[in-house]
Amino acid sequence: MNKKNIKSKGLLVPPIGRWNPTAFSGGGGTEAVAISPHDSNFIILNSDMSGVFISRDGGKTWRIIPFQQINACPYCSPVFHPINPNVIYAANGYAGELRVTRDGGTTWQAVGKNSPDGLRTITIDPLLPTRILAGHNNGLSLSEDNGESWRDIADIKDPVSHVYFSRANISNNRFMYAVTARVVYRSPNGSKWEVVYSVSESRKIVSFAGSSGEAEGDIVLYLLTADSSVKSGCEEEILISHDVGVRWEPVTSMPGHSNISLKERLPTGYLLANDVRRDTIYVVKKFYSPSDTVWRSDDRGYRWRQVAKA
């Protein structure tokens, strides 16, 4: 693996420790990763050289899925079904067409009538898993029958990079979210969408993450924005919302900014959160660095510690 081109998405790292090479290769970078919520040793990842790899032992050993079954899409992470551990949805190839496996990754089939291509992100409703939300190059699509049929929703014509189903009940609504490079949209039911946040022309939305429980109002949202013209990590800002996206404010501090110079700061690639550890947020940089790769906060961005280093 080219250490200078590590791109991790969806990979929750242990609290402390070193990164070590794993026993797979094939060229290119690892672009889209998913870990099973049923078995943390079950990992699937995409490369940017068409290979899709599976590990059943936490990354110690890997096997490549035959290309006749599925090719890697570097833009879209696979997603595990929240109930059936053998079902995984993924985008096929650079075209980003939807495929599904029902045997844990051995065989893959195309799925869905009018299913979108150009996929960029997929999520399954954790409380109603027949519903699948897909962001793609031309907007947003919803399936309510396990991906068998699809319809375009929302008047969004720009590529959608992030989608999220909230578990939290807010006045008898469970909100869903869709995010483009400049706008955060919210809907209580999938039919009516509203803009809850937007950035200026000089900035862009890099990443979005959410964490929610099933209690009334139990949701926190994170947003990473950056200067559109700056490639380093010096013009970044993480915003947090505790009121379903109505108000946003900067987190107390940015990871590493107190001890890493502006010139050495790497651009952030991803924010990672989950519905189990509600106060925990990860920041993952786009490229490998011995001093600035993965950071973790257990108090919603107030304090940070480095959790992956050379």
pTM reported for the whole predicted model: 0.85
C-alpha 228: how far from its chain's center?
20
Q: What is the 3-state secondary structure (H, E, C) of 39-52?
A: CCCCEEEEECCCCE
* Percent of the residues in the chain that have a pLDDT greater than 90, as a whole number: 55
**Half-sphere CA count of 243, side-chain side, radius 13 A:** 6
Range of the domain at 268: 3-308
C-alpha 259: how far from its chain's center?
28
Q: Are the beta carbons of 195 and 205 closer than 8 angstroms?
A: no
Q: How confident is the model at residue 4 (pLDDT cuts 50, 70, 90)?
A: very low
Number of domains making up the chain = 1
Q: How confident is the model at residue 247 (pLDDT cuts 50, 70, 90)?
A: very high
- Cα–Cα distance for residue pair 129/36, rounded to 1 Å: 15
Q: What is the pLDDT of residues 16-46, one digit of tens each?
A: 556 665 555 555 677 889 999 999 999 999 9
Predicted confidence (pLDDT) at residue 138 exceeds the cutoff of 70: yes
- CA triplet 300, 135, 33: central angle to 5 degrees? 60
Q: What is the CATH number for 166? A: 2.130.10.10
Q: Are the beta carbons of 208 and 186 closer than 8 angstroms?
A: no
Q: How confident is the model at residue 8 (pLDDT cuts 50, 70, 90)?
A: very low
Please state, rounded to an integer, the average pLDDT across all residues of the chain: 85
Predicted confidence (pLDDT) at residue 265 exceeds the cutoff of 90: no
Q: Are the beta carbons of 228 and 196 closer than 8 angstroms?
A: no
Tell me the average pLDDT across 286-305: 83
Q: What is the pLDDT of residues 158-188, one digit of tens each?
A: 999 999 999 988 777 889 999 999 999 999 9
Instruction: Pick the more confident residue, 61 or 231.
Output: 61
Cα dist from 185 to 140, 164, 176, 182, 255, whole Å: 11, 10, 8, 10, 27
The CB density around residue 188, as the number of other CB atoms within 10 Å, is 17
Q: Are the beta carbons of 148 and 141 closer than 8 angstroms?
A: no
pLDDT at 308: 75
pLDDT at 19: 65
